[in-house]
């Protein structure tokens, strides 16, 4: 018989839960202070903006819960662990009351709008525990934006008499969740809205939200592969591998993978933006590195490039803005003609339905390869061989089996969302913290969604959105990287993390992201 | 402290050895029949061609071994487990006599020619056990071909008074090993030459050599990633992923990965060649699949393409031959103009130092994507959305940490090579068989290199080479694939193998390649 043994075993893996969850009926909410918000936010969210921080705690006397009907929906790109959020929700709801129901809305927010759903019973969830992807109910990128959308979702909520709606998504989806919570309150609808922080990019975090789920799995999958490629590079001594990494605008993924693998270079978009580096400066810096290595007889190496790099280079940012507005200045025109033909073509021709340049489709790694190649060809002092190989690690890491950490974190997030609803909270992001500790010692609560919001210009309009968290150039992860990268450039200090493990000793299976360990001063990085 | 925990643990992993190796000094050679060879081969290899098959066995009385001095060299591309071959050699040599020495020649066969080496003591090998890559001593693609090369290697052998030379390489390197063995015998040099079957491509095998090392690791790494991509595809329902897989001409890697992951399509070069399929027929078949899936609402999927596919398409084979000979017929010219511009350019402009088309650099997956796109655009009946994403999985799998199987197999191959030399054999490939069983029950011996040889035209000349093993269209692995692929095309029966595991239950950690299990009737594939 042809069995998928790994799948069968991972299904049986026992995960620990925060101690609090041993007895859900004794959980009470301890209310903290309310976040200090701008007047503009308070005006936009008059009801939700008053909400205080919530911490879930245990008291001795149990309370009685009524049956709950809760909807869950995935929004946006895959992140590993999503199915465990559903399992956590289902387990907690059942535990609170056996007549509680979990509905999974299908194909993302669009499913809420069109009332496409299925009931997620324990039986239906069998086989999805500890698996990657969102395939059980699918996902989508529709945003609940128009008055008609809001009305349709309201109808769905009323039709099912939903007690709660759990939006599992990134910054935009959680912004949506805040608007929905406010909208429901304004209409006296009792459906509570809770967001769950999902994104491999790692840019949905704050002082309260330590990490979004999916980041750990994606960075571990990519780091394992980068390690393999580095080992191949140092063995063959023939190729320089340019590895582009998924993670949209922020460079958290690249920074974590750099800390994991110690490559010869890693570009951090936030640093490039801070120093206002031009494409030419980046090219020269890379060509200098290639020359220096060639002088040491090293015509090989590995470098990491964040997917969103191109947006951080000020001159390219201007060019893209001007192309989007169809008004290209003399400077930008010069820049455009200096770019390799294939890239100039992508910038000019590949537009999204709104006519905007599709930044994510630009082959940044290929752009850098061609520019460095050209620069090296012009240097008479360069006597090395530059054989570049380009890679893009992205889809491989979005729907992988979740790591132990993501699997455990997601299960806890599902429980937390269910309990927040049971306790009557709305407009919150489910919060699980102290993640560096063992799961029994994790704290759980809710963070008011509005506390993470600020006004940003989107399509020319000032809009309230959940702030994206960028790499902190003063933070410990970046400082460690900064202290080491000079040596990594010329010495070959590659670290080979290996593939994600599930059954071994805790120090291998339960490793948290290095950047999280550094932020929480739980690691000395030398 | 910043530790690479996975690396430390994998270093401590205890591997089992064939029972025979418990007491190396009681091993004797049992000689079998000699292979029946063509007269041409016998003429070329008058001394080596007479060698019989060797089986290593145990007798009760131990013999005494003299100290041995043995050289090892890697040749060609990386394959996981190479370092364990060196560890196995070193352990066996030490075990046979504590004064034995292992020399590692550096940078491939070139190191033999120029006498670049280092002594591989137990201490020097520390940290390399169970690791991927060939970085300890490097590798290279130099072939020992000219009389000067042979003379230089002879000098190296004499200089060190080598008892043995172990060539760890693919078909070409093992062909080299046969010539060197014959050459040494003809010069009355007592250096024994033993080959070790290395290649991720899986095309170095025979009725005696069940698999080459590196194949298991590479296919498991690729299959894990294909599974991740498939899970992403079925979750997002947006993209069709075209995955090109390393493995040069033969399609073993693609077939194994297809059996592991059950993709919507997998092209097998050998089948395409057998049916003399044209590029247009392949394009139509893929477009039919896309249409059929679109009609079911499935605008997504995953397909596998072997790196060497293009050579198997007869018309392209002719085109390449004609381009190499700089005489392009009318038919080929038509084909060339029908190809997407970027591909036509690669065929015409990218040449190797000999002026030949660089087949491995042709973006076959991109070619198919563009042809299918064009074909679908012409079909008025097609109402789906074709959003292709291309991938190439190659370098990621060549230097990964070896799987338990590759690690164990390589250790045993190292022991076997050392013992064959100790027993005075030359011109053999180290053989470890019964690989489906537990390592204690593996059989070991030597296969005369000439028994695997045949004459092939290389660069216009008939040359004796080790035959590449192609996918057997009558074999069990292909038959299982054939029986299933219709369903895989339209139903989504993806299998998600997960990442390679090292510390879990045997059924996960010790899984052999599915194609090996099928060949040996150790698996029912349904």
**d(C-alpha B343, C-alpha B370), whole Å:** 10
The ipTM of this complex is: 0.96
The sheet with strand A164-169 has its strands ordered as A27-31, A54-58, A443-448, A428-433, A192-197, A164-169, A69-74, A101-105, A117-119
- At B413-457, the pLDDT tens digits run 999 999 999 999 999 999 999 999 999 999 999 999 999 999 988
Q: What is the mean pLDDT of residues B362-385?
A: 94
In this predicted structure, the answer to whether residue B345 has a pLDDT above a threshold of 90 is no
**Block means of pLDDT (10 residues each) for chain A, length 526 residues?**
84 94 95 94 93 95 92 97 98 97 97 98 96 97 94 98 98 95 97 98 95 98 98 97 92 98 98 95 98 98 94 88 88 90 83 74 90 96 96 97 98 98 98 97 98 86 91 97 97 97 94 95 83
Residue A248: CB atoms within 10 Å: 21
- Is the minimum CB–CB distance between A236 and chain B shorter than 8 Å? yes
Closest CA to B240 of B288, B302, B295: B302
Taken as a whole, chain B contains a residue count of 526
Task: Sort A64 into a burial class: Cβ within 10 Å, 0-12 / 13-18 / 19+.
Answer: exposed
Burial pattern A179-212, b for ≥16 Cβ within 10 A else e, equals: bbbbbbbeeebebbbbbbbbbbbbbbbeebbbbb
Cβ–Cβ < 8 Å for B162, B70? yes
**d(C-alpha B375, C-alpha B282), whole Å:** 11
The pLDDT score that the predictor gives to residue A2 is 67
**d(C-alpha A434, C-alpha A436), whole Å:** 5
Cα Rg, chain B, nearest whole Å:
24
Whether A498 and B135 lie within 8 Å, measured CB to CB: no
The pLDDT score that the predictor gives to residue B1 is 47
- Is the minimum CB–CB distance between A237 and chain B shorter than 8 Å? yes
**d(C-alpha B493, C-alpha B505), whole Å:** 25
* Residues of chain B contacting residue A398, judged by C-beta atoms under 8 Å apart: 228, 232
* Residues of chain B contacting residue A503, judged by C-beta atoms under 8 Å apart: 501, 503-505, 508
User: Which residues neighbour B8 within 8 Å (Cβ) at sequence distance 6 or greater?
Assistant: none
- At B66-80, the pLDDT tens digits run 999 999 999 999 999
The pLDDT score that the predictor gives to residue B2 is 67
Q: Packing angle between helix B341-349 and helix B364-378, nearest 10 degrees?
A: 150
H or E element at residue B236:
helix B215-236
Closest CA to A413 of A128, A213, A122, A163: A213
**Beta pairing class for A27-31 and A54-58:** antiparallel
**d(C-alpha A183, C-alpha A166), whole Å:** 15
Distance from CA of A230 to the nearest CA of B (A): 9
- Is the minimum CB–CB distance between A353 and chain B shorter than 8 Å? no
User: Which A residues 239-298 touch B at CB under 8 Å?
Assistant: 239, 241
The pLDDT score that the predictor gives to residue A346 is 84
Per-position DSSP letters for B68-101, written without gaps between them: -EEEEEE-SS--TTHHHHHHHHHHHHHHH-TT-E
More confident residue, A94 or B352: A94
- Is the minimum CB–CB distance between B522 and chain A shorter than 8 Å? no
In this predicted structure, the answer to whether residue B195 has a pLDDT above a threshold of 80 is yes
């Amino acid at each position: 018989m042809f069995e998928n043994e790994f799948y069968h075993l991972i299904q049986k893996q026992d995960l620990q839960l925060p101690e609090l969850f041993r007895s859900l009926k004794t959980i009470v909410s301890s209310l903290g202070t309310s976040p200090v918000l701008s007047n503009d936010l308070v005006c936009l969210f008059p009801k939700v903006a008053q909400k205080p921080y919530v911490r879930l705690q245990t008291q001795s006397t149990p309370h009685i819960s009524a049956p709950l009907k809760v909807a869950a929906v995935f929004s946006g790109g895959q992140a590993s662990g999503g199915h465990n959020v559903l399992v956590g929700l289902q387990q907690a709801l059942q535990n609170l009351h056996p007549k509680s129901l979990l509905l999974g809305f299908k194909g993302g927010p669009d499913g809420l709008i069109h009332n496409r759903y299925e009931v997620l019973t324990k039986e239906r969830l069998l086989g999805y525990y500890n698996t990657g992807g969102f395939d059980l109910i699918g996902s989508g990128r529709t945003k609940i934006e128009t008055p008609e959308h809001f009305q349709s979702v309201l109808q769905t909520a009323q039709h099912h008499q939903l007690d709660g709606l759990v939006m599992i998504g990134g910054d935009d989806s959680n912004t949506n969740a805040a608007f929905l919570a406010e909208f429901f309150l304004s209409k006296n609808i009792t459906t509570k809205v809770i967001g769950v922080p999902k994104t491999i990019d790692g840019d949905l975090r704050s002082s309260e939200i330590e990490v979004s789920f999916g980041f750990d799995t994606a960075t571990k999958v990519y780091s394992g592969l980068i390690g393999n490629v580095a080992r191949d590079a140092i063995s063959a001594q023939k190729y320089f591998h340019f590895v582009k990494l998924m993670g949209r605008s922020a460079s958290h993924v690249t920074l974590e993978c750099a800390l994991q693998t110690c490559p010869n270079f890693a570009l951090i978009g936030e640093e490039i933006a801070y120093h206002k580096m031009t494409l030419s400066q980046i090219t020269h810096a890379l060509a200098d590195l290639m020359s220096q290595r060639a002088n040491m007889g090293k015509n090989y190496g590995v470098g990491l490039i964040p997917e969103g790099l191109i947006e951080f280079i000020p001159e390219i940012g201007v060019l893209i803005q001007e192309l989007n507005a169809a008004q290209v200045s003399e400077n930008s025109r010069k820049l455009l003609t200096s770019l390799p033909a294939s890239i100039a073509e992508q910038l000019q021709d590949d537009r999204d339905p709104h006519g905007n340049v599709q930044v994510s489709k630009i082959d940044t790694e290929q752009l850098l390869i061609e520019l460095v190649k050209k620069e090296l060809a012009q240097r008479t002092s360069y006597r090395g061989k530059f054989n570049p190989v380009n890679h893009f690690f992205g889809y491989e890491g979005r729907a992988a089996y979740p790591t132990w950490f993501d699997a455990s974190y997601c299960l806890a997030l599902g429980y937390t969302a269910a309990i927040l609803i049971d306790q009557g909270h709305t407009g919150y992001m489910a919060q699980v913290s102290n993640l560096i500790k063992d799961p029994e010692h994790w704290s759980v609560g809710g963070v008011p969604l509005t506390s993470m919001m600020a006004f940003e210009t989107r399509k020319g309009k000032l809009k309230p959105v959940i702030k994206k968290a960028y790499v902190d150039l003063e933070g410990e992860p970046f400082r460690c990287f900064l202290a080491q990268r000079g040596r990594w450039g010329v010495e070959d200090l590659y670290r080979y993390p290996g593939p994600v493990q599930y059954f071994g000793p805790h120090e291998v299976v339960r490793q948290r992201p290095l950047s999280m360990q550094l932020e929480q001063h739980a690691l000395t990085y030398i």
